[in-house]
Amino acid sequence: MVSFDEKDQFALQRAQMVEHHLLGRDIRDPAVLRAMGRVPREDFVSQAYRSQAYADHPLPIGVGQTISQPYIVALMTQCLRPARDCEILEVGTGSGYQTAILAELSARVFTIERHHELSEQAQTALEKFGAANVEFAIGDGSRGWSGQRQFDRIILTAAVPSIPLPLARQLKSDGVLVAPVGSGAVQDLAVYDNRGDELVGRIVCGCRFVPLIGEFGFRE
Ligand code: SAH
């Protein structure tokens, strides 16, 4: 049972996170700030890390993977420009925290994770949060979502050497794709606009992500 004290404590920490780590930097989109202020990040980390849930750094989530720091989650979401009617594909479910933020801001989120234990943990956390607009898949997300579906927005939460072709093909024209791109320890956080047949990209900043392991990503 969670005591009211603990709940209040986390609500305070969440408000401080929005104030200091997001508004205090360059997160300006009111919808993104509202979503970050609503999703209980403590429920997406393990018991051992609950007390650090609102620190502005990544935390381990198991099988050598990490939950991204709150600022990066907010920045990537802001760059993705999600709209209420958007269908979003997320590659790298991880803890499900970014998924929850996206679910707050769009019509539907389709999320793929290669580790079944992480996908299962995320499904439990998202169910507890009450997100009813998320579909989960387990497998290699570099190959895209199965079938012919296209998406308004695509977000990769693991680093790729270049944008996997199947994902570029699943982006609608006028769609936006956000991904960490690069082969080194530090990658470029890149935002691509689909202008018809061409992805036009720009680099937002440097970032550090775990590699996307898969057919169109990195080798294991
Ligand atoms: N947004 C997540 C980030 C998790 S880290 C969070 O905030 O918790 C990136 C995730 O991508 C890891 O869970 C990793 O297992 C997953 N991943 C790596 N390669 C993948 C692939 N080819 N397909 C799907 N998921 C992949």
Other residues' Cβ atoms within 10 Å of the Cβ of residue 8: 10
| pLDDT at residue number 197 | 79
Q: What is this structure's pTM?
A: 0.97
Query: Does residue 112 line the site of ligand 1, with CB under 6 A?
Result: yes
Pocket-testing residue among 36, 45, 89, 114, ligand 1, by greatest number of atoms within 8 A of Cβ: 114
At 3 the pLDDT is: 65
Please tell me the predicted confidence (pLDDT) of residue 6.
Answer: 86
> Which residues does 171 contact at the CB level (< 8 Å), separation at least 6?
150, 151, 154, 177, 192, 194, 199
127 in any annotated domain: yes
Residue with tokens 């079938």: 147
Question: Does 134 reside within a domain?
Answer: yes
Output the pLDDT for position 196: 84
Establish if 218 belongs to a structural domain: no
Cβ neighbours of residue 89 under 8 Å, at least 6 residues apart?
A: 109, 110, 111, 112, 144, 145, 151, 153, 154, 155, 167, 170
114 C-beta closer than 6 A to ligand 1: yes
Q: Is the distance from CB of 216 to CB of 164 less than 8 angstroms?
A: yes
Q: Are residues 162 and 214 in contact, defined by beta-carbon separation less than 8 angstroms?
A: no
- For 98, the domain range is 4-207
- Which CATH number covers residue 143? 3.40.50.150
- 197 Cα distance to chain centroid: 25
1 Cα to the center of ligand 1, angstroms: 30
Protein residue with least CA distance to atom 2, ligand 1: 94
Q: Mean pLDDT, 10 residues at a time, over the chain (220 residues)?
A: 79 97 97 98 95 94 94 98 98 98 98 98 98 98 97 98 98 97 97 93 97 96
Is 55 inside any structural domain? yes
CA dist., res. 143 & res. 160, Å (int): 12
Q: Tell me which residues are annotated as active site.
A: 68
Number of domains into which the chain is organized = 1
96: left (phi > 0), else alpha (psi -120 to 50), else beta?
left
Question: Is 213 inside a domain boundary?
Answer: no
